[in-house]
Structure formats: C-alpha cells, structure tokens
C-alpha cells in the first residue's frame, strides 16, 4: 500500500460530489436535500485542502474555513425555514411546498 496522493483525495471528492448531486436531484425530502448540499460542500473542501497541500500554500485551507462557515450558516437558516414550513404545512416534501405562489 503506497502513500496517499492528491489523486486519492480527488477520487474521494468526486465520489462525494456524485452522491450529493444524485441526492439533490432525486430526493423529495428537504432534509435529505440539505444533507446532500452539505456533501457537495464537503467535496469542495476536500479539493481545496488537497490542492492547497499539493501547492504548499495555505490559501486553500483558509478558503475552506470560509466554506465551512458558510455551510454552517446555510444549515442553520435552512433548518429554521424547514421548521417554520413544517409548522405551517405539516410536510417536508419539496414537491408540496408552494408558499411563495400567489
């Protein structure tokens, strides 16, 4: 077993991106969609850190911290909206959300 290279990190990132994209496109539950978006953001973070390590530069790692901060804010706001939606509509299915329609 050889050392872990950048290609290994890119393969892991591609797998997470694929799983997250399939989750966003095929699921109807908003909680699952939010978790899939988090998987996509984690795939981006793995890429940022892998290339940051490869180029011996900390800019990618710093940017990954900002992406993590943005993901936390997105999750907090998304779950807050989801709780309000569930209280009004008693559903978490994306197809049945039509509160913004006139």
Residue 16 and residue 42 in contact, taking contact as beta carbons nearer than 8 Å:
yes
Tokens of 37: 């978006």
Is the pTM for the entire model greater than 0.75?
A: yes
Q: List pLDDT tens digits, range 1-55.
A: 789 999 999 999 999 999 999 999 999 999 999 999 999 999 999 999 999 999 9
Q: Which CATH class is domain 6-93?
A: mainly alpha
On the 0-12 / 13-18 / 19+ scale of CB atoms within 10 A, 36 is buried
């Amino acid at each position: 077993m050889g050392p872990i290279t950048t290609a290994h990190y890119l393969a892991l990132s591609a797998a997470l991106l694929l799983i997250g994209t399939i989750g966003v496109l095929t699921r109807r539950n908003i909680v699952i969609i939010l978790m899939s978006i988090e998987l996509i953001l984690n795939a981006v973070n793995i890429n940022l850190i892998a290339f940051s390590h490869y180029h011996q530069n900390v800019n990618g790692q710093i940017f990954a911290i900002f992406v993590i901060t943005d993901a936390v804010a997105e999750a907090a706001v998304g779950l807050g909206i989801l709780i309000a939606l569930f209280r009004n509509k008693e559903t978490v299915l994306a197809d049945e959300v039509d509160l913004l329609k006139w």
